[in-house]
Structure 1
Amino acid sequence: MSEIKKRRDLYQEVTDKIVKAIETGGMANWVRPWSDVNEPGLPKNGSSARPYSGVNTALLFITAHERGYGSTRWFTMKQANELGGRVRKGEKTTPVYFFKMLESAKTDAGKDQKGKGNDDKPRMVPFLTEYRVFNAEQIDGLPLSENIPQPEWSPNKAVQEIIARLQPQIVHGGNRAYFSPSQGDGDYGLIKMPYRGAFNSEFDYLGTLLHELGHWSSGPLKRQLGARGTDDYAREEIRVELFSVLMARELNIPMSIENHTVYMDSYIKMLKSDSREIFRVAKDAQKICDYVMGRFVPEMEVSPDAVPVVMPAPVIDTTVQPVNPVVKALIASSIKRASRKPKSGYAQTEPTAAEPALTM
């Protein structure tokens, strides 16, 4: 009798990689300023230019650090070939994970796998799968850093624009940096910062401010914090540490990621007991980053081969001529509202209940 191949647990594979990376060097190794890399920004699909998100960002950080890649572009074999590139012989692939929507399996009794009844309509559920990619530095025939435009803005200006748009309440003074959801006159709590002169460099100040801004986002994003010493507290610290990594890469800020031993030890235990924990926290960190940067990114990864290299621009027909002038006015008003760009990718919401202050 042939031996049945054991089904792979992709969640566990991802968790094992993250745990190993944290235990051997922490998140600090994932932050490399652009002076050390060939291309700016977060890891992205080299064909569509779509940034990776969630746990994939962390996994590609890890691989780039371990193998010394300076490029942020990643391609499937098919994409590399279509663009005239050729993967060098002997190069290893890197797995990237995404969700496919599949029909839920049903039992003979007409119930799904969780035992819940269902009608004749198929129920779609997300299914974790993977595809394999190569870094641009593993491929011959592709343009590298000489054709990649460099950013023209300064990190300080970028952070100032973020603060002006989000308008958190920030008070300077003292010798501690922390966020308190129960203090201040702002809608979502108070960020307390030492004066700029108390920091060793401008980057230290900006990195600390962004870290506390990550905690501040718990208000508008309605995130549970928790008391010091609890799993929720440790989870929030790791969530914001990962957010800090994302922001450091986006804004070219050489942050000093703290790698708090107490939080890391506690969180590693949580990861080892729940293989889906890192997916939730990475998703939260990405959500904070998208909110702070003022954009909206779909929550679920898609297969890169499913995304065309050039996305066609949508064509909107606004030439409707209704007979009734009242209807015509309503349609015009609706089109005008739909054309407005939101100030942020997420709506402002009511603040959460007061929780203990979160510090660096």
Structure 2
Amino acid sequence: MARHAAARRAPTERVNLYREITDRIIAQLEAGCVPWVQPWSTDPGTATVAMPRNAATARAYSGINVMLLWAAGIEAGYSTQRWLTFRQALGLGGCVRRGERGTAVVYADRFTPQDERKRADRDGDEARQIAFLKRFTVFNVAQVEGLPEALTAPLPPPREELVLPRFRALMEASGVTIRIGGGMAFYRPADDVVVLPPPEAFHELVNFHRTAAHELSHATGHASRLARETKGPRGGACYAREELVAEISAAFVCASLGIVPTVRHADYIGSWLEVLSGDERAIVRAAAQASKAADWLLGRLPDAEPPASDKDGDDAPPAAMEAA
């Protein structure tokens, strides 16, 4: 009975969560705030540039959850991007303070409608499942009392002198052919080449690396890598979706290496709004693909860690956002 009740509720929750997340991102874009590049404040005491992580497992969150947690962390002014479920906090000897409100994050699940089960039984084939989002709640470590100090102290920023050399190591480890020269940056799928202007052409050296992160993110979609659907006329929906993936992926790569992300192609915001307005799943899919692209690039570094799973112990199964 409980399983059937959950199945009846699933479509409503699926639609509400996709729409809720999409409407939030659209509102931010319309207000001129790009949520994947403006999650940090210059105010003292706020979190340094970093990917949000689970404090119990040290695993980085992925996909749309990165943006949800970045936004919640900066809005509340938390000094670190480390999060726990209620049960994990108890397991570490802590307790969420009375009156604290958690932050909703999501993972993808599937269910089989009753009518589809009947059809599959009748036709003798496999029942088709429908993907939907489920919500669970996490708390920043600043909302929890009694945790070990090692979990609540702000994380030290990366050593500044190592940030750019490490990014150069990522460029080399990617194996993508990179040609330096000219006045434009682009990825050319025909011969699988990234073209970048020389570093001295940028007002700040860090912008060379931000630009490289964007173009290398495009390159991850090549058939020999992640085989992402990237073809489409310039200005079309497929083109806009691929730019969205590359923008978010570049932000994830930069944040992982201690570089504050920036918008590389703000003139595409109108196209992104059209894509998001026409497909309530678009931002969730784009963020999932961006995580895969960023993980592919970061995973080539010699000291790479395993890709994020969003698994928070018994409270939530792993995310599979690409299936959503």
* TM-score, length of structure 2 as denominator length: 0.79
Q: Do 2:240 and 2:275's aligned partners in 1 also have CA atoms closer than 8 Å?
A: no
1:217 match: 220
CA distance in 2, matches of 1:81, 1:234: 44
2:175 match: 167
Between 249-258 and 139-148, the greater mean CA deviation after superposition = 139-148
1:18 match: 25
Mapped pair 1:196 → 2:199: yes
1:279 match: 284
1:323 match: none
Which structure has the larger Rg over C-alpha atoms? Answer: 1
Structure 1 residues 158 and 122: CA distance shift in structure 2, 3 A: same
1:106 match: 114
Structure 1 residues 235 and 124: CA distance shift in structure 2, 3 A: closer
1:125 CA displacement: 5.3
Alignment of 1:70-81 (within 5 A): 70-81=79-90
Deviations 1:287-331 (A, max 9, x none): 101110126637x744543589xxxxxxxxxxxxxxxxxxxxxxx
Gaps of 5+ in 2: 1-8, 300-304, 318-324
CA distance in 2, matches of 1:252, 1:151: 6
CA distance in 2, matches of 1:97, 1:255: 24
CA distance in 2, matches of 1:165, 1:34: 35
1:148 CA displacement: 4.3
- Which amino acid in 2 is paired with 1:155? V
Deviations 1:36-77 (A, max 9, x none): 744663112222222111111111112222222231111112
Q: Do 2:72 and 2:103's aligned partners in 1 also have CA atoms closer than 8 Å?
A: yes
CA distance in 1, matches of 2:306, 2:91: 29
CA distance in 2, matches of 1:39, 1:127: 33
- Total equivalences in the alignment: 294
- Which amino acid in 2 is paired with 1:98? Y
Q: Do 1:87 and 1:139's aligned partners in 2 also have CA atoms closer than 8 Å?
A: yes
Q: Do 2:211 and 2:264's aligned partners in 1 also have CA atoms closer than 8 Å?
A: no
1:344 match: none
Structure 1 residues 225 and 146: CA distance shift in structure 2, 3 A: same
Mapped pair 1:241 → 2:247: yes
Structure 1 residues 162 and 78: CA distance shift in structure 2, 3 A: same
Gaps of 5+ in 1: 309-360
Q: Do 1:271 and 1:278's aligned partners in 2 also have CA atoms closer than 8 Å?
A: yes
Deviations 1:139-183 (A, max 9, x none): 222335647465457222222222222222222222221222225
Alignment of 1:1-360 (within 5 A): 7-8=12-13, 9-24=16-31, 25-27=33-35, 28-30=37-39, 37-38=46-47, 41-102=50-111, 104-107=112-115, 110-111=118-119, 117-119=123-125, 126-142=131-147, 143=149, 144=151, 146=153, 148=155, 151=158, 154-183=162-191, 188=192, 190-219=193-222, 220-223=225-228, 224-258=230-264, 260-261=266-267, 263-294=268-299, 297=307, 301-306=310-315
